A and B are shown apart, each in its own frame.
Chain A
Amino acid sequence: MDIGKISNLRNSVIALVSDAGNLKELEELRVSYLGRKGKVNELMQDLPGLSSEEKKKYGVAVNEVKGQIEMVIKERRSELENKPIKSTFFDPTLPGVKPVTGELHPVTKIFHEVEDIFKHFGFSVATGPEIEWDEINFQKLLLGVDHPSRDTQETYYFNKNQLLRVHTSSVQIRYMENHKVPIRIISPGRVYRRDTIDATHLPSFHQIEGLMVDEKTSLTDLLGMLEYTVKRLFGKKRKVRFYGHHFPYTEPSLEVEMQNEKGKWVEILGCGMVSPQVLENCGIDSKKYQGWAFGMGADRLAMLKYGVSDIRSMFSGDLKFLKGKV
């Protein structure tokens, strides 16, 4: 330990500090000299080994140097903080580098939205198989073997009794046969029709079925729930209108239309009050209970909601479309 060493230390620090180009470098210097493991502290640690006379002499010197270093650092910091930051060319309009994101399919999104709307009213989600028994898909829904409605519902069969379901209404039957009233379910799923395959028709599409059965739910509840759903999906201003139609398993039967963006009325679903015979077919007392049901075209709703003009783009696996606007 000698005074010379201490003052050399101080001089070299002062030089380094004035050379410090930025606050980060300055801080690094501060830590390396004044920090816990810093050089000044190292010197302090040598003191105990000295005689009490030397201790006093060097202690004073070290403390003095410490104070000088602190002051120089403080001044330099102030200088650096007050220095105007150099102006360089910065272009904020450069295109962003987008992160890799996934995307859910538009039909999934519609399924989720409708599930959420109905969850509010205590509806749970039910499912059923896509290859179904003829009895459940047709007969228990009052579509007998020779029923004229069977003409309009051309069906894919595997054998006499097993077919690809033509609607999600088969889930109504399954659920009612296995649960007690009150019943509130929705069932999204894939259905199949043996149509000519062309630009707007594929062998399968997606529906969302809904069913509510209890002691007093009426036609006005059905109308209200459907209007509410359309408004939740498309906004408060979106109008719906109802007109009479025919399904063998509902009485009254209705279809529902909604206006698309261009103001054209498009059909979005069929619905009605469940026929008492259907309830009886499922072991539900039709004198005590009544209910309503609907089947929404989920693909069409997705197209209307997300602005899809060609149905094929949703099912061709094309990332150009599926990854969304990004």
Chain B
Amino acid sequence: MLAPKIWIEEFVDLTGISNKKFSEEMTFAGNKVESVRRQGKQTVYEFEITSNRPDTLSVIGLAREAAAIFGRKLKLPKSPQMTSGKGVPIGLKITDSKLCPTYAAVEIDKTKIKPSSKKIQERLKLAGIRAVNNVVDITNYLLWETGQPMHAFDADRICGKLTLRAAKKGEKITPLDHLKRTLNGGEIIIEDEEKLVDLAGLMGGLNTEITDKTQRVYLLVPIYDPVAIRRASKFLRLRSDASTRFEKKIDLTQTEPVLRRAVVMIEGETGGARSTKLVTMSSNWQSKKIKLTKAQVEKRIGIEVKQKLIDQYLNSLEIKLGAEGYQVPSWRRDLGNWVDLIEEIARLYGYNKLPRTLPTGDVPVSQDALKPNWQRIVRTQMLELGYVETYASTMIGRDLIEKVRLDPADHLKVLRPMSKDYEYMRQTVMETMVPFLKLNWENGHKIDLFELGTVFFKSGSLKKLPIQPLELVAVSSSKDYREIKGSMEQLLSRLNVGFELSRLKKEVGYLHPTRQALVKSGREVLGVIGQLHPHILPKMGEIHLFSLNFDRLVGMSSLGQQYPTPARYQSINEDLSINVGEKVMIGEITKLVLKTSKLVRRAELKGDVWRGVATLAIEFNHPTRQLTQTRVNREKRRILSRLKKELGITIKE
């Protein structure tokens, strides 16, 4: 809202208040000054008006605020007195008073339409409003000054009586912007006996616009139903200075007073004369009364406030104390209850003048506070393992889904995406990680990335929200399979989660068809590990990754055992070289070794499998006595025999 300083000063004296002080104090009290502009010698303030204060979508409203904030007197224009007059204006039938709860109307005759006077044109220019002709300019001038919109019709182009009603679907109208509109039904329209003449509250009809030939003006100052205006504005994508006011709760008592002012101004500017009575339909507005105690004010704000000060602040906004409580003036329909009044007191006191305290009182003990902060623990562990954390967009385009060989059809899709690149919700972090791999490879980086983020799945029922677990993904272009597995082992070991690997039963689009495995813990599937499918980023060489369902993982995590228990007796370490070929998995072999002998504390592959031969490093240890070489040799024979029997494995000669 552009408010020229000179216009505001018509209603409140701002002497001695610099632009800086004005901007700051108005802003602190809730009327944000976005900029202070200069147009020639004039200063214009650009205000940001919040949706709850349509009363400040007017110069007078802002002057009121300034008067209260700076403690100055307000001088408001009086609505001129008028004789009742003879004759009646064109009849207006309101079919539903909900659509139009109040209005005032009149006719002015013998009007000469020409440019408006210098003062009006200058003011409009400062306010950023285009001058049209004297009548239209006056309606805009008064809208800007009072916040009360109105519309002037060329009365001679109106055929018969007028009716205000809700539009039916399919009805058409061409407003002043020359663009024909087909209506949705429900929009407030005014029609005469032949045609639609007004898209009420949004824009007048082209067919009754004021032109330089207009000799008779029908002036209508209404209030419309905010919901109907808002819906119409949204559907037709049509906003105007009038609609932005009508769609909010504005003063219901100003239709007639502002009409009077309009009559006097139009008579002056056009040389015409009022030719009818004023027709009015008043609303049943009554001042709301709100009870408020000093104790309530002090409790909510947190300081002592004298009753005198409370009354002073509220009075300055013309909220006066009566027998039934504080009376809310007609332009403050946003004030509904005691907390609203406290906001007025607090903002006039000055938020920046209030003391700043820190919370005291009982600290809640909630169950959530007793759980470890798993996200932090996991992120920190990944950091320690040398991975750099990424955050990707969770909204993606079809191309990213197809790139990792997944199916867009089973992805969640938003109804009105802003662009094709942000249409679907990702189902795996891999969908957004692949472009990151490409980007960093093109820049020649060694890549070790991780992301712990939300992924989305259809829940299959409109009664449930989609399933939105957290997924942990780690990718690397520099690590081989055993190294990425090492990262995962380290992480899971830290969380005390045991795991096994097995064949994937169903193919996962982004994984290499054979170089992959399913990660399970007990019955729970935790995720997958393996090599990225070679067709996805073919120029890059081997990329390894693991992906884990974070929610399931932390469900079975604990922080207990973090340090090894030292053995009481000395271990005997033996190396066992065996022929494995390409049939048996090392994991199966070590599992069998551990199962076979209770004396084996550790059994691990030493180095790599070389030409079909694996060397196992086996640590023999007993918790309560020292083992002998003889005993160990016996155990070794038992293990070898079992390996031969169950897995067909022979010792290397």
Contact = CB atoms under 8 A, between A and B. Distances in A.
A204 to B, nearest CB: 6
10 contacts: A102-B389, A122-B364, A125-B368, A132-B465, A146-B231, A184-B364, A215-B361, A246-B52, A254-B351, A317-B392
A15 interface: no
A197 B303 contact: no
A253 interface: yes
A201 to B, nearest CB: 10
Contacts of B340: 251
Contacts, number: 238
B72 interface: no
Nearest to A122: B363
Contacts of B359: 121, 184, 212, 217, 221, 224-225
Contacts of B425: 131
B117 interface: no
B382 A102 contact: yes
Contacts of A220: 301-303, 354-357
Instruction: Identify the interface centre among A103, A131, A194, A242: most chain B CB within 10 Å of its CB.
Output: A131
A172 interface: no
A261 interface: no
B342 A251 contact: yes
A24 interface: no
Main secondary structure of the interface of A (DSSP, over half): mixed
A319 B447 contact: yes
A126 interface: yes
A102 B385 contact: yes
Contacts of A157: 414-416
Interface of B: 27-32, 50-53, 226-227, 230-231, 234, 247-248, 299-303, 337, 339-340, 342-343, 346-347, 351-352, 354-359, 361-364, 366, 368-369, 373, 376, 379-380, 382-395, 412-419, 421-422, 425, 432-433, 435-436, 439-440, 443, 445-450, 454, 456, 462, 465-466, 468
B388 A203 contact: no
In the A-B complex, the 10 residue pairs with the smallest Cβ-Cβ separation, listed nearest first, are A244-B30, A218-B302, A317-B436, A122-B363, A220-B302, A224-B356, A246-B50, A252-B343, A242-B351, A102-B383
Given A215-B361, A273-B339, A130 B389 contact: no
B368 A317 contact: no
B465 A133 contact: yes
Given A242-B351, A252-B343, A318 B439 contact: yes
Contacts of A164: 414
Interface residues of A, number: 83
Contacts of B435: 317
Given A243-B351, A273-B300, A317 B390 contact: yes
A197 B418 contact: yes
A103 B447 CA distance: 12
Contacts of B368: 124-126
Contacts of A8: none
A275 interface: yes
A184 B363 contact: yes
Nearest to B49: A246
Nearest to A161: B462
A104 interface: yes
